[in-house]
Every structure is written in C-alpha cells, then in structure tokens.
Amino acid sequence: MFRTTMIAAAALGLLATPALAADVAGLWQTPTNGGQVEISHCGNSLCGKLVSSNHIRENPALKDVKNKDESQRVRTLKGLQMLYDFTGGPTKWKDGKVYNPDDGGTYSGTIELIGENQLKLKGCIVAPFCKTQVWTRLR
C-alpha cells in the first residue's frame, strides 16, 4: 500500500510540474504598448522582430524616430529586428542585445523560459540597472 501511495504521489508531482516548451521560437505578446515580437532562430542564436504594436496598428509606416543613430530614423518599426545575438538554451539565453524603440537605446539582455507560455526578458544598461518584462506566448 505504501509503495502504491508513493508511486501515485510521484506521478501527481510530475503532472503538476509545468513542462517547458521545447522551443522559444514563436509569437510573443509584450506587456507594453500591445507589442508583439516574433522570436526565431538566426543561425546559432536567437533573434526577434517587432511584428505589431498599438502604434504600428495606428500607423503601419511608423518610423524609428527615437533611434540614437540619426541615419536609422528612417526605417519602419514594423518588422524591425529588436532582439539579436542571444546564445545558449534550451531554456535560458544570454549575451544578447535588446533594442528599445521607445527610447532608441540598445541594452544587453537575457531571455529565460519561465513556463510553457511565458518568458522573462531582462535588459540592462549595466547591472544592476536592468528592467525585466514577462512576455506571453501567442503562438
């Protein structure tokens, strides 16, 4: 009886443990401005492009006007690569770059899957000056 109880408890424990998605690639919802970012594999690293946001839905031709490099201010935000050079995996990637079109800055970053449908994106000017967001998988 004890052995059966232990096996049942172990099985329930395994079922209760959230399984992480095998792949971080997909469409992710950001918590700000209705942003949607498509994360994909770019060679041996991860990258991500801005697919949509509240501002892009209002004006699909919206430009990257806050970019610190004046020559880049003519490019459109829709389709803009904002995540690049993330290495590692399968659940945590580091040494990447995060471009923030809201302030035109590029930050060092990490991405970590924290559940099947959630990831944590952390961007830092210099540690400990970091911001963290939790993104939700759309597909």
Number of separate domains in the chain: 1
107 lies in a domain? yes
- 60 or 127: which carries more pLDDT confidence? 60
Asked whether residue 1 is assigned to any structural domain, the reply reads: no
8 in a structural domain:
no
pLDDT at 81: 97
State the CATH number of the domain containing residue 99.
2.40.128.520
Q: pLDDT for 3-43, tens place per residue?
A: 443 343 444 343 434 444 468 999 999 999 999 999 999 99
Instruction: Output DSSP code: residue 72.
Output: G
Q: Considering the domain boundaries, does residue 17 fall inside one?
A: no
Could you report the per-residue pLDDT of 81-116, keeping only the tens digit for each? 999 999 999 999 999 999 999 999 999 999 999 998
Name the pTM for this structure.
0.82
The parent domain of residue 84 ranges over 26-137
- In the prediction, which pLDDT does 38 show? 98
Q: Would you give the distance in Å from CA 120 to the centre of its chain?
A: 7
Question: What's the pLDDT at 87?
Answer: 97
2 domain residue, yes or no: no
- pLDDT tens-digit readout, 33-76: 999 999 999 999 999 999 999 999 999 999 999 999 999 999 99
What one-character-per-residue DSSP string does 2-56 give? HHHHHHHHHHHHHHHSPPPPS---EEEE-SSTT-EEEEEEETTEEEEEEEE-HHH
Torsion angle (degrees, nearest 10) of CA 138, 79, 125, 25 = 40
What is the reported pLDDT for 25?
Answer: 96
Q: Is residue 60 part of a domain?
A: yes
In-domain check, residue 3 = no
Kindly list the distances between the CA atom of residue 9 and the CA atoms of 1, 19, 105, 112, in Å, as whole numbers in the listed order. 12, 18, 50, 29
Q: Tell me if 130 is assigned to some domain.
A: yes
